[in-house]
Structures are given as C-alpha cells and as structure tokens.
Structure 1
Amino acid sequence: MKKANKHIEELKNKYSYKLSVCMIVRDEEKFLDNCLKSLKPLLDLNLAELIIVDTGSVDKTIEIAKKYTNKVYFKEWNNNFSEARNYSISLAKGEYIFIMDADQEMEENEVNKLIKFFSSNEYKNFNTYSLVYKNFTKEDLSEYTYFSLNLIFKNDGTFRYEGKIHNQPIYKEPVKNLEIYMMHYGYIMTEDIKEKKFKRTATLLKSELKKDPNNIYYIYQLSRSYEMHGDTKEAIIELEKYLLLIESEKINESLRINYYHNATIIYFNAKEYNKCIYYCEKMKELDEELIDCYYLMGKCYLIEGNLDRAVYNLKMYLKYLNTFKYEKYASTNGLEVFSYGHKFSAIGELLRLKIKINQLENIEEYINKLNEDKETYMLAIGEILKVNILKEDIHSINNLIEKLKEEDEVILLNYLLSKTVVSTENIDENSLIEKLNLDDEEREIVKKKISYEKYSSFKNLLSFIDENSKLNKVIKIENCIESLIDTLNNSSIYDIVECNYRNEIIYIIGYLLEKSDMIINSYLINKEKLITLMYKYILIVEDIEDSSLNDDREFSNKINNFNKFIKGKNILKAISVLKEAVTIKPEFSNLISIIKDSLILEHIEDNNLITESDIRKIKESLITLINNNMLIEAIEVLDQLEELYNLMQDVELLSIKSTLKFYLNEIKEAEDILKNGLKYYSQNIDLLYNLAYIYETNNKNISALSIYYDILDIQTEKINLEEINNNIIRLKEKIDII
C-alpha cells in the first residue's frame, strides 16, 4: 500500500503544469504580441507554462517573447520543422503539450473554455485534443476557411513530430475535439512572403520526395503548394499522381476526404468542371453533408449551363450550411472547409437562377436573406426588382426604391426600373409607375426612360451614360452586367462608332471583357455572349482612327490571325498567336483563356489532340531548328506543344527540352525537367547522362558520381561501360583534390 501511495505521489510531482505551450518562432514580430497576449489568462492562473524556441530571428521577436516568459531558447535551424518542434517538447514540464504558432490567436471566451476544461478532471480521459482553426485568407477578415488540427497531446515521453516540412504529430488515441476555436492569420501574406514560403516549402517537399517518391502525403502537400502559388498545371500533375496511388492503398475515410477535397478545388480552378463534379460525388459517398461538395457542384453546373442541377446543389448547400458544425470533421485533421463564408453569394446566385428558370415559389425567402448582406443585396438588386414587379408587390418595390435613394443610386434606380418594366410581360406600366414612391420629376424620368427602352435599348444605354457623366459619377456597371452585354451585342457598329459616347462604350466593353472570368462565374452569362462581345469590340476599334487604340487594333489583328489558324487546323500556331495577344492586352488574359478553351476545343477531338504523326513531325521540326541554332524558337515550339500535350508522355521530348534549357543557360530549369522525368523513367540512360553532366557543370561532383553509379546498375547495351568508368575515376580524383 505504501509503495502504491509513493507511486501516485511521484506521478503528481512529475508535472509542474497541466499544459506546456510550446512554440517555435522566427521573425514573428507582426503577430507574436497578440498571440501571447491572448494566452495570458492561462499563464496568469499558472495552469500553463510558455516555452518559446527561436530559430534565428533578426527582428523584435525575442524582445516580445521575453515580456511573457523567461523560457526563451535558441535552436539552430536545420531545415527541419520536426527537429525544432521536438526540441521545444523536450523542455516541457506540463502534463499535456499545447502546440501553437505565432500567427494564431485565441479569443477570450475560447481561452476561458480551455481553462474550464483543464481545471476539471475530464481532461485526463483523452490522450489527444483537437481545436478548430478559423483560417483567414483576406486582410479585411472577410474570407476564411475552417479546419481542425490535433494541437494538445499527452506528455508521456513518447510524443514527437516526424517529417521535415509538414511535420506530423505521432500521437496516441483516444482523440477528442474540444469545440474550441483558434484564429489563424498565417495565410494573410504579401506577395513577397507568399513567394518565399512557396519556395521554401516546395524545395523541402521535393527534397523529401527524392528519398520517398511515392509518399502520398508529401505529393498531396506539393500539389497544394503549387495550387496556392497559382501553378495549376503543376498542381494537377502532382494531384493525379496521388489520386492514382490512393486507389491501390488502404487509406482511412478522413484522409480520403482530404485528398478528394483538394482535387475538387484544383480541378475547379483549372476549369475542369466535370472532374471537379466527379470528385465531389466521390466525397459525397463518404459524407453527404459536406457543404463544399454542394457549393462547388452548384458553381460547376451554373457555369456549364445545367441550371436545374445548379439550383438543386446550391439549395442543398444552404440546407447543410444551417446545421454545419466543424467539430464533426475533427477526425479529418486538416480538412479546410472554405465555403462556410459564401452563404450570401450562393443566395444571390440562387435568386438569379430561379428567375431565369421561372421558379418563383418561395423566392421571397432568398430576398429576405439577402437583406442581411448589403453588398450582395446591391449586386442582386435588378433581380429583386424584377421579382417584385412580376408579383406586383408595390410595397416591396417602394422599399427597394427608398434603399436606392438612401444609397444615392437614383440613376441606377431609373435605369433598372425602365429596363425591368419593359422586359416584364403583361404589366400595365403606367398604373405601376403611378403607385411608386417617386416624386413628379422622378416619375417623368422613368416614363421617359421606358419610352427610350421601347424605342431603342441602345438609346437607353446612352441616356444612362449621359446622366452619370453630368453628375461626374463613375458608371456603375456591376449592377446591370447582363442587360449591358445584351444591349451591346444587339447594337449596330455604326450606332456605336458614330455616337457621342463611343469612348465611354469602349471603356464599358473593355471592362466587361477584362472581368470575363468573374462575369461567367458570378452571372448567368455564357461564354458565347462574351466572345460575341469581343468580336464586336474588335470591329469597333478597327473602325475608329484613334492613336490611343493602337494596342487594341494590334490585339484585333492577333485575334483575326488566330481565327485563320483555327480554320486551317494549325492548333500550335493558333495557341502561339493567343500568347502574343496576351502580351499586348494582359488585362484580357482571362478572356483569352476562355477563347482558347471554347474555340480550340471545338476544332479538336478531346482524345486525339495530338497524334503520333504530329509528334513525329514536331520532333523533326525541333531537330531542324536546333541544327540551325534556333534554340529559342525550338523552346517556343515545345511550350506551345505543352498546351495540348503532356511532355511526360514522351521521354525523347523531355530530353530535348532539358538540353535546350541547358544550352540557353537555364540550368535550374533543365535540372528540374530531368528530375521530374526520372520520376517516370527512372532508368532512362539519356536522362541520367544529362543530369550527371549538369551536376558536373555545377561542381556537384558527388551527385554526378552517384548518377554514374546508378547508370552502371542498369543492364542495357546502350551503356558505354568504358566511358562511365572513366567518368567515375575522373570524378573520384576531382573530389579528392577538392
């Protein structure tokens, strides 16, 4: 009995605190003070100790840290997150380890929840606890995602982290989610910081994948890094690698959801909507209440023009959003639910859709919900007005009129009223106008605009521009995009060129074309209408002699050449001329992407973009260009080819591209091409030879030597054993000298 009591006493004395907050930091002065201030209640109650390990700060990080704790240590940075984490853990005297980063913060009520839980005996029932991240992605905190992470662990002497980059905790079950929220600001970054973070993370991931090429988690993280950096093509390459691997691996449901979720986002951003829908369906098989599935499918079907399915999925999104609790996804440990903050965007799109397909039952509930968000309400105001006119709801129309007057949007009100009244059938317009809360002058203006609209929508557009100009107001385009595009597409070139406001019209068309991606995603405008508008724009600028439109005319020439190449089925030339068009009008890059997707794919079969015969001819062209020392032109041919063909399918093309990059002194790119190629063709002699040669050129003699030994291990007649052995001897001597 005495022995048992002694053992209990030893256990009590083993821990000085219930929690050890362990942090690794470096140059974190921007966030650290707020982070530590939020933890102060924990520290003041002596419930927790604070351990901070610095890995080389040159700003005020250490000074800030010492305001809150005297347990500030230094650890040299060895490009290994787990090593630094584990050092901080080794210093902990708490019963549980609480892992935090400087860019995190806890609100007061969330800290109080944590204090309450660890002041009870309930905390002893679990080995691991997860918290929910509210992960902000915009400076104004208007956009965020949710994901859950295991952050509190039993300090039993075995807990540790593994992995150099995305360090993974090796924890013990059982696990409980505390339903405590953590604010995370780490994704709010300047472009410079984003670039540094990407380079650091991607470099470390590639380094680890060299050692373990089929590590699904690292491939998954690399695909995410590429996507966040905007490298969609590279993200898809990595994505499709891990999707292939997980089909043959036994992976638990929560991880599988994570991997599919990442696929849906990447495919959506790449505009591969069918693939996005496919993996949304795969996710739904695992969890039919995951809101991101329905939100993304709603967007995909909307863009593809399947309006009934878009309505269904957006309604399902709103249904499950009402009961959404992130705690349910605690076991997924890292799943980022992004659509939680898109409620009003979805309601606005549903409103437009239901009007479009004439489903007006219960539509007031969507209008009432939009009242909670001013910005979305204003963007949907034309649709709201139309619904109220269709239902002859004078009270609601008058409320809307008062709102627009309060916002000093009288011109917009007049434009929308006239446009909507004329486009709505079976309406007694005079009777309607008399019932509205308008003074005599406003009523006359609306009547005049209605007659303008009846006679000519183009005149109505000119009147709209005229009144904005007189009041020196910026023309509000966003609220009437659909009607503007229809009006412009139906107007004659002569009317536009000869009118007094042609410069304003050119500005409006340019704005609409510049925002083409946003318009397709946010409005019910199909790609064909935008392409029609672009050709209208080209005809207008060609017909006006004005030096300020020189770039526009040059852009016009490129598009005309593009059409010629498309008709002649010269796809590579067509792509080349589109690239030239982007350099002339970079603001139209999204539009040009739409043109490429819409028009090129009409002229080529999906499964037969480039035939074997085409590849053979391209290789012959490349050899001719190289023999004539036209290396840059050869690279351009390969770049154009990559728009339609994955070079990883042809090892000879990979070898040619790496050689060209080398001779153009783009050594790093040449090296990367070879390394990526060797992931697929690990025993290809040409790729190995070329990589060894690049290593030698860069004085990476040990790496070159290793490659030559790899070549020796390959049994093939292509190997010149004498040459390889001579290279090995030469490098050994060189290394000894060095």
Structure 2
Amino acid sequence: MKLSIAMIVKNEERNLERTLKPLKELNRYIDTEIVIVDTGSEDKTVDIAKNYTDKIYFHKWNNDFAAMRNISIGYCTGDWILVLDADEYLYDVEVLGNLLNSNEVNEYNSAYIQIANFNRDIENSVNNGFITTLIRMFKSKTVKYEGIVHEQPKHELPVLYTNIRVVHYGYDNNDYDLMEYKFKRNLELLFKQLENKNNPKSMVIYINFQISTTYAMHKDISEAMKYVKIAYDKAKNEIGKYIYVINRYCHLLYNMKNYEELLIKAKEALKHCDNFLDFYFYLGTACFNLNRYEEAIQAYKKYMFYHEELNKNNIPITNTLSILTREYKDTIIYNLAVCYFKEKCYEKALDTLSKVNNKELLENKAHFILRIIVEGKLWDKMYIIDGLVNRYSYENILLYVQAELSIDELGVIIKNTKKGSLYKIVSLVKHYKENNNLNKKQVEGIKETIEEHKKLYSTYVYYLLKYDIAEIKFLCKYGKDVLENIIINLCSSYYDFNEILLKELKNHRSKMVDYNLKVVMLKALMLGGNLPNDKKREIFLSFICEKYYSIVKAYNKETIVEKSWILSSEERFVIELKNALSYRYVDTIKYIRSLKEIIHIEKLYIDYVKIIIEDKPIEVNNSFKELLPELIRNINYIIEEKKYNEAYDIIEEALSLVKFDFSLMNLKYRLLILLNRENEARECAEELVLYGSSDEVMELINNI
C-alpha cells in the first residue's frame, strides 16, 4: 500500500520544515510520497520542500481553496491520500503507519483525523487542547472538495473514526500582518460564497457559522454573535442536525459572561447531545455564576465523567462538534469544590480539591482552602496549607487571617500547626490582635519576610507603620505605585491609620520630609475615603503643593510647559490646578473659571476641586500694590541691618492689605528661616508654591 500526502502551500518558510520532518518517518512503516502544490511563494518555501520531495507543482492562486485541494490530490498516486496544511504537525506517525498496514482500513473509504490547536507545547496540545475532527484521509479517487473557503470533502461512506492527532499551529502566530491577511482573505471568500443564491439551507447555515468563527478568532465578539445568531435562527427547528451551531453559540455566550442565556442554550443543546463534554461545562459554569450550586454540582460531575470517558477513548469524537474545554478540567474541579463549600459540604470540598493537578491553581487559592478547613473545623488538615504558601498566596492568607479569624480560632490553628509558614503568620497576627502592636523582634521578622519575597503585604505595611511611621523609608524601595495603592487601601480599611498619617504630616512640617513620600501619604488620605471633612481642604492643597514640587524637581521647564503629553494625567492635572490657583489673588473671575474648566480632568479629585471653588472670594487692595516695590526695598535694608522682627512686622502689616504678593511672601519665608520658625516657614513656602506664578515658583523650587 502507498500513502500520498497532499499539501498546498504559499510563503510557509517558517512552518514547512516542522511539518515535513515527521513525514519522513512514515517511510519506516509505509511507502510514502509527498505532493506539494505551491501557489506563488516568494520566500524559501520551495527550497525547503525540495529537501523532502521532488513532487512539487506550481499553480497560480485563484481564491478557491477547494479547486486547489482538488488539483493537489490529482497529482497523488497513492492508494490513500492524507491532506495536511503547512502549519500542521503529524503527532501520531506510528499509529498512522500501523493503521494503513492493517486490514481494518480496507473496509472504509475515508477517515476522521483529530486536529488539536497548539497550546503552550505539543504534549499539552494533544492532551488538553481544542480538538476538531475532520475527514483528512481517504482512498484515492473517492473525494472531491467543495467550497472556496473552509472547503469540505464530498466523501464516500463508510467513514473510520481514528485517534490519529495532528497539531495545528495556525493560530499560535505572532505575525500580526499574516493573521490579519488570513482574516480578511477568509472573510472575503466566505461572504462571496454566501452571495450564491443556489446555496442549499445547510450551506447557508455552515457559511454563517464559519463567518462567526472567523470574527471570533479576530476577537470581534459582537460580529461573531451576530452571525451565529443568523445560523442558529435558520437551524433551530432541527438544531440536533446542526449541533455545531449551538456549540459556537454557547462558546460566545460564555466569553461574553451572559450566563442567563448560556443556561438556556446549554440545556437546549443537551436535549440533542447528552454525552458531550463542552455542554456540561457551559451548563455548570452558567449555574455556578448564577449561584445555582446544586445544579452546578450535577453538571460538573457529568463533565468529569465524560472527560474521563474521552481520555479512555470510550467516546468517539465526531465531526459535528469541536471540543474546546478539555483544558479547563482543573478549573472545573475547583469550581465544584466551591459549590460544595457553598452547600456547607466542607469535607467534600476539600476532598475535591485534592484532585486538582495544577499546583499553581491550588497555591493561588490557598486562602480558600484555609477557609474550608476553618469553617469545617477540619483542624487535622492544616498541614495541607503549608505546601501552598508562596510569595503570591501569602497576601490573601494573611488578609484572611487578619480580617476574619478570631483569637480563639488563631489559637486552634497554632495548636494544630506547630511550625511552618502558616504557623508564623497566625502567631504574628494573634500577638497583634492581643496587644494592638508588635515587638521589635517581630518587626524585624516582618521585614525579613518582605525582603525574602521582594514583595509588600498590606497587613504587614499596616503593622510596620503603626509600630513606627519611619519604616515607610524601608517600604518605599519596593516601588512608589505599589506602596501608594497599599496605603490608600489601608486608609480605607483602618480608621486609626488615617490618624497615624495625619499625625506624621503634622510632626514633619518642620522637617523637609522626602516630598515623594509626603505625596504618597497625602494622596492616600484623600482617596482612602475616611478623611475628616475639616481636613479635606488643607490636605488637598498640601497634596497639590508637594506634587507640583515633585514635578518641578523631576522635569525641566520645557517638558512642563511645552511637552506636557509626556506627563501622567495626574501630573497634568496638578499643573493645571496650580496654574489656576495662581489667579486667586490676581483675578477672581479668571480664577473661578479656570477651576471649573479643569474640574473633570482627573475625576479622582472632583470633590476636592469643588471645595476650592466654594472658597470665599478674596478682596484685594490693588492701589496699595503700587507701593510694594519701594516697600520691599526698604524691608531688604532693614533685613541687612539684622532687624528681623521689625522687618517681619512690616511684612505682616503689608500682607494684611494685599493678602498675597510673591516677592513679599518670599521675604517672609527668608525671615522665618532666619528666625528658626520652621513650621511657619513651611506654611509660607506652601502658599508661595500654590499661589505664585509658574515662572516664579519654578525658580523658587529649583533654588531650594
């Protein structure tokens, strides 16, 4: 017996050798020829092909896949023909060779081959990947292809179902241009095929199904849903005959998280096909997300049964359905455990989780496993947790232990663990809950854990900063954004944490705290949601001042003024607000108008901008301003004579009339520094930054 392998190719230099290599092995089992029809390659495809076969033929591409298939099989001289694409890989070489050498194959005219989409690696693809069963092998002169795209072999019965697997790489491709080309090409051909008024109903349904599939692969779910609905509406009166349509429908509903509709369609599908894996996946997932846990349990148990039957080859994979959900087995087991937990069947939940093979999944859900043990009082199972604690699961375990467990429950856990990561976590939390603080040794232990894991944990940040706010300098090395988000959440979760930050900010007004850390604390207070009303205006203006200071220190003037697109939206908002504030003592109408124009730039701070807008207008004595240059010269003379208090009194009297003048305020700031009145100097500097013109303020900041 002789086997011909028929391929049509074009510009496949990246894939072709991977396909051809295993085909050479077939010669160990059966006489094999490789027939390649090239439709216009401009790369090294033909050169590669010549290393494996001399049967290479050239035909111009005519936008008709069926025609090209028929040309390729016309060159074949074998008793049987296997059709492959250049982005496919024959996995079961020996199985195919043995099949063709057996008497069994002679009883059939064609055979189904399993096509598994590539997923991570070859072994995972054949064992867990999406599977489509297609007629790809047939006796010579028994098949003719039809359809200009997604061509179908018009074959002769009987048909043999085989376990021969081919891995398809076509959609594991990082070449965007190639994928876009395939998408547009296939879609154009499908719509062209749909225009044929002589299409039978079955073909119209199939074409609309393929259009939906093409859009889905392009991630255009709305269009994919549009065309699967067309296919479904035409097929629904005999949906059992077109079960692949409702399968696609369910898959799209699942991706769209439309669980109510998915529940209906999955049940409808199961009336016509009650042994199909995917429909139980869809039914169980819909019930799970709709909190119908008893129904979800029954569906998931069916899924597990048919998954096992499929692996044992007890269920033939038919050509009417593609299997998409094999890889979700561990997720289904986890969801099944959640269902048992919701039904308070704690031992069943824990026993179910033991069947999960994916350790990473278990590690990510370690806090849930701990919860099962605690709520089910399965104390002798505590040992399970220690093997699941890593730098990623640590956070959720710690949060659960801190937020939800009583001192008595913590004591029972300690009694049943004795050692290990969980023991350390629980012992630390228990000590904190009993004493409302930690000792120095425990603080050092927390810092060692953070350094070992190179990761901040919010509960530990809370403990450290409550022990000593100065520990923020240790924490900041793990990233400003990370620390900022944690501190915002702590301000939201713990009322006393707001007091810690407010106290620190007040204490450090006399010290030049690192402005970036101060910005983090101020922002956390504002966004945490628990800031007292009487503090909101003060904290917001301090935030704008410190943030603007940090911007000027980080960027040059050209960037701030002319290239602001480089900055973050928050930085641009702060600059805009600072510019608006500079009109407060100059032009009240322009000041209010500018504030209203920027109120929606950064939505996080809308309520705070509204507070500023509501400030009473400032009445300014503009006539007195004309006298200021001479007055400032006189004040400078007095300062040179070291009559600091006299100069300060004159400045205060002048400010009572003009309210704000940058030069006058700058003199006041210098005097306060000379008089060692650091707190007042800090407040004066804040006013200078907030209300001075941008040019004046930038110069001031750069000289500090």
Tell whether 2:185 aligns with 1:205.
Answer: no
> How far apart are 1:41 and its partner, in Å?
2.5
Pick from 167, 172, 181: which aligns with 1:183? 167
1:384 aligns with 2:369: yes
Once the two structures are TM-superposed, the CA of residue 503 in structure 1 deviates from its matched residue by: 8.7
Distance change >3 Å, CA 534–CA 270, structure 1 → 2 = farther
Q: Distance in 2 between matches of 1:467 and 1:377?
A: 25
Q: Which moved more, 1:36-45 or 1:339-348?
A: 36-45
- 2:114 maps to 1:132: yes
Alignment of 1:712-723 (within 5 A): none
Deviation at 1:131, TM superposition (A): 1.3
Matched to 1:114, the amino acid is: L
How far apart, CA to CA, are the structure 2 residues paired with 1:414 and 1:429? 17
Q: Deviations over 1:114-145 (max 9, x none)?
A: 21121122211011100112222446857621
Q: How does 1:100-111 map to 2 (within 5 A)?
A: 100-107=84-91, 110-111=92-93
Structure 1 residue ranges without an equivalent (≥5): 1-16, 478-483, 509-532, 556-581, 586-738
Deviations 1:271-323, CA, capped at 9 Å, x for gaps = 32222222211211112121211222222233333333333333332232222
**Mapping 1:388-403, distance limit 5 Å:** 388-393=373-378, 396-403=381-388
Query: What corresponds to 1:174 in structure 2?
Result: 158
Matches within 5 A, 1:81-92: 81-92=65-76
For 1:122, the equivalent position in structure 2 comes to 104
Look up the equivalent residue of 2:232 and give its one-letter code.
L
Q: 1:414 touches 1:446 (CA, 8 Å); kept in 2?
A: no
Distance 1:365 1:399, change over 3 A: closer
Going from structure 1 to structure 2, the CA distance change for 1:263 and 1:94 (only over 3 Å counts) comes to same
Q: CA deviation at 1:412?
A: 5.2
Check whether the contact 2:209–2:231 (CA below 8 A) recurs between aligned residues. Answer: yes
Does the 8 Å contact 1:148/1:329 carry over to 2? no
User: What residue in structure 2 maps to residue 666 of structure 1?
Assistant: none
In the TM superposition, what is the alpha-carbon distance from 1:163 to its structure 2 partner?
Answer: 0.7
Residue correspondence of structure 1 range 125-164 to structure 2 within 5 A: 125-138=107-120, 144-156=129-141, 158-164=142-148
Aligned equivalent of 2:4, options 17, 20, 28: 20
Among 474, 491, 494, the residue aligned to 2:493: 491
Shift of the 497–311 alpha-carbon distance from structure 1 to 2, 3 Å rule, reads farther
1:486/1:420 CA distance change after superposition, 3 Å: farther
Please name the residue that 2:38 is paired with: 54
- The two structures have a TM-score, normalised by structure 2, of 0.62
In structure 2, do the counterparts of structure 1 residues 312 and 467 end up closer, same or farther at CA, with 3 Å as the change threshold? Answer: farther
On the 8 A contact 2:402/2:429 being kept in 1, the answer is no
* Residue among 420, 430, 435 paired with 1:450: 430
Identity among equivalent positions (%) equals 26
Once the two structures are TM-superposed, the CA of residue 201 in structure 1 deviates from its matched residue by 0.9
Change (3 A) 1:73 1:309: same
d(CA) in 2 for partners of 1:124 and 1:270? Answer: 46
- What secondary structure is seen at the aligned counterpart in 1 of 2:280? helix
Assess, with a 3 A threshold, how the Cα gap between structure 1 residues 504 and 127 changes in structure 2: closer, same or farther: farther
- Cα distance, 1:338 vs structure 2: 1.2
Letter in 1 for 2:190: L
Q: Is the 8 A contact 2:401 2:426 kept in 1?
A: no
User: How far apart are residue 81 of structure 1 and its match?
Assistant: 0.7
Deviation readout 1:665-700 (Å, 9 max, x if unpaired): xxxxxxxxxxxxxxxxxxxxxxxxxxxxxxxxxxxx
Deviates more, 1:185-194 or 1:255-264: 185-194
Once residues 530 and 13 of structure 2 are traced to their aligned partners in structure 1, the CA distance between those partners, rounded to angstroms, is 53
Match of 1:233 among 181, 197, 222: 222
Aligned residues: 498
Shift in CA distance, 68/281, structure 1 to aligned 2, threshold 3 Å: same
**Equivalent in the alignment of 1:669:** none
In structure 2, relative to structure 1, the CA distance for the partners of 1:144 and 1:124 (3 Å cut) is: same
1:113 aligns with 95
1:14 corresponding residue in structure 2? none
1:431–1:119: structure 2 CA closer, same or farther, 3 Å change rule?
Answer: closer
Structure 1 distance, partners of 2:225, 2:17, is 39
Q: Which protein shows a greater Rg? A: 2
C-alpha distance in structure 1 between counterparts of 2:491 and 2:276, whole Å: 41
Alpha-carbon distance in 1 for matches of 2:312, 2:184? 31
Q: Within the alignment, does 1:223 sit opposite 2:212 as a pair?
A: yes
Structure 1 pair 202–192 and aligned structure 2 pair: CA distance change class (3 A): same
Contact 1:355 1:383 in 2 (8 A): no
- Aligned partner of 2:53: which letter? T
Q: What is the deviation of 1:349?
A: 2.4
Deviation at 1:467, TM superposition (A): 7.2
- What secondary structure is seen at the aligned counterpart in 1 of 2:305? helix
Which one of the candidate residues 404, 411, 415 is aligned to 1:430? 411
- Preserved contact between residue 8 and residue 68 of structure 2 (Cα < 8 Å): yes
Contact 2:11–2:42, Cα closer than 8 Å, also in 1: yes
Determine the structure 1 residue equivalent to 2:56.
Answer: 72
Contact 2:336–2:349 (CA<8 Å) still a contact in 1? no
Q: Distance in 1 between matches of 2:331 and 2:523?
A: 27
One-letter code aligned to 1:62: V
Deviations 1:134-177 (A, max 9, x none): 22244685762112111111213x52101111111010111110
1:609-630 per-position Cα deviation (integer Å, ceiling 9, x unaligned):
xxxxxxxxxxxxxxxxxxxxxx
Shift of the 275–320 alpha-carbon distance from structure 1 to 2, 3 Å rule, reads same
Report the Cα offset of residue 377 of structure 1: 1.2
CA contact (8 A) 1:418 1:446 kept: no
Residue pair 1:35, 1:103 contacting (<8 A) in 2 also:
yes
**Pair 391,37 (structure 1): closer, same or farther in 2 beyond 3 Å:** same
1:263-282 equivalences in 2 (<5 Å)? 263-282=249-268
Which residue number in structure 1 is paired with residue 243 of structure 2?
A: 257
Query: CA separation of 1:348/1:554 partners in 2, compared to 1, >3 Å: closer, same or farther?
Result: farther
- Which amino acid counterpart does residue 493 of structure 2 have in structure 1? S
Q: Which residue of 1 aligns with 2:309?
A: 323
| Separation of aligned partners in 1, 2:529 and 2:212 | 37
Q: Unpaired segments of 5 or more residues in structure 2?
A: 438-442, 459-485, 505-516, 552-566, 574-599, 604-704
How many angstroms apart in 2 are the aligned matches of 1:29 and 1:154? 30
Specify the code of the residue in structure 2 equivalent to 1:333. N
- Provide the residue aligned with 1:63 in structure 2: 47
Alpha-carbon distance in 2 for matches of 1:493, 1:195: 53
> Counterparts of 2:37 and 2:5 in 1: how far apart (Å)?
11
| Residues 1:363 and 2:349 aligned together | yes
- Within 5 Å, which residues of 2 pair with 1:655-670? none
Paired letter, 2:138: F
Structure 1 residue 374: Cα displacement: 1.5
Cα distance change on mapping 1:343 and 1:434 into 2, 3 Å: same
Q: CA deviation at 1:270?
A: 2.5
CA deviations 1:245-278 (Å, max 9, x no partner) are 1135x57x4x522110000111222232222222
How far residue 358 of structure 1 moved from its aligned partner, in angstroms, is 1.8
Q: Check whether the contact 2:382–2:416 (CA below 8 A) recurs between aligned residues.
A: no
- The whole-number CA distance in structure 1 between the counterparts of 2:343 and 2:523 is 32
Determine helix, strand or coil for the equivalent of 1:94: coil
Residue 437 (structure 1) shift: 3.6
Q: What secondary structure sits across from 2:157 in the alignment?
A: coil
TM-aligned CA distance change 1:443 to 1:392, over 3 Å: same
> What is the letter of the counterpart of residue 455 of structure 2?
V
Aligned to 2:462: none
Aligned mates of 1:37, 1:343 — CA distance in 2: 33
Residue 71 of structure 1: CA displacement? Answer: 0.6
1:303 match: 289
Equivalent-residue separation in structure 2 for 1:42 and 1:351 (angstroms)? 46
The SS at the match of 1:363 is: helix
Provide the C-alpha distance between the structure 2 equivalents of 1:329 and 1:29, rounded to a whole number of angstroms: 38
Task: Specify the code of the residue in structure 1 equivalent to 2:150.
Answer: H
506 and 373 in structure 1: CA distance in 2 versus 1, 3 angstrom threshold: farther
Q: Does 2:333 align with 1:333?
A: no
Shift of 1:184: 1.9
| Residue 349 (str. 1) matches residue 335 (str. 2) | yes
Q: Find the aligned partners of 1:497 and 1:173 in 2 and give their Cα distance.
A: 81
CA shift for structure 1 position 375? 1.1
21 and 551 in structure 1: CA distance in 2 versus 1, 3 angstrom threshold: same
Aligned 8 A contact 1:298 1:310 in 2: yes
